[in-house]
Chains A and B, each alone.
Chain A
Amino acid sequence: MNCSSGQDARRRDRHGWNDLDHYLSIHFAQLKRLGEYIVERDELEIDLTDADTLRIKGRIYCVHSLFLDVAKTLEINDRHQVRTIRYKYHAGILGETPRSIFRYDNAHPYTEHPDDHHKHFYDLVTWQEVDPPQWVGRNALPTLAEVLEELYDWWNETGQFL
């Protein structure tokens, strides 16, 4: 691989190493943008659990009683760059009983999947999980902002008619 194709590959990898300040700038800029139409309250906590590990955890409250529970573990290298190694994006809707809508995570490797990145689906009548989880793959893995946009689309296309 020559130098330029290597740079292209890194540019394409949205989930690779990123400078900490750049990562946080994008994170907050995206939440601010999404605050214009879906995010109502951001209750994510960002802290270190050890010198090499950053954790982002909490709930993002959205319009129409939607919410997204987020848990991300990011490793930090000696150049103060970060990359996500574990994550969970659990979308739901508040009510008398909170209901699950979908969940992306890479917490458990399924033997029939090429990698750990998958999505859990829920039946919108019984609100029970529909097995098995569907493989997503690292390259197709959405960002936090894209998951929030997906949740917003779900409301417009499905949720509001339930």
Chain B
Amino acid sequence: MAMRNVNPAGITELANNLIRQRTFLREYDERRSGLQARVTDRERQYAIKSEHVHDAIRSGRLKESQEVCDWIMDYELLQRSGR
């Protein structure tokens, strides 16, 4: 079996890189979970699916409050991060 020749400094660098990547991926997952939770909360609160928010505002069933504005932005972020 061919062994990769890695010196101790290289191993430390590799470990540090993996830890940085892990930290980033964890933070990414936490942010995405937070976005998903907020969007789900709003959908329950207003009994409207996120994809129907603009129609609901247009029809007068929903007002574009600051909370709704945040909801729209969170939903769009969630969609972007799931592309």
Contacts and interface: CB of A to CB of B under 8 A. Distances in A.
Contact of A73 (B27, B32, B64, B77): B77
Interface string A66-93: 0001010100000000000010101000
Main secondary structure of the interface of A (DSSP, over half): strand
A52 B81 CA distance: 8
Contacts of B80: 49-50, 52-53, 73
B70 A88 contact: yes
B66 A103 contact: yes
Contacts of B69: 71, 88, 90, 103, 105, 107-108
Determine the interface band of chain B, counting residues with CB < 8 A from chain A. 20 to 34
B54 interface: yes
Interface residues of A, number: 23
A47 interface: yes
B57 A108 contact: yes
Given A55-B77, A71-B70, A108 B31 contact: no
Interface of A: 47-50, 52-53, 55, 69, 71, 73, 86, 88, 90, 100, 103, 105, 107-109, 111, 120, 129, 133
- Closest 3 pairs between A and B when the two form their complex, measured CB to CB: A50-B81, A107-B72, A107-B69
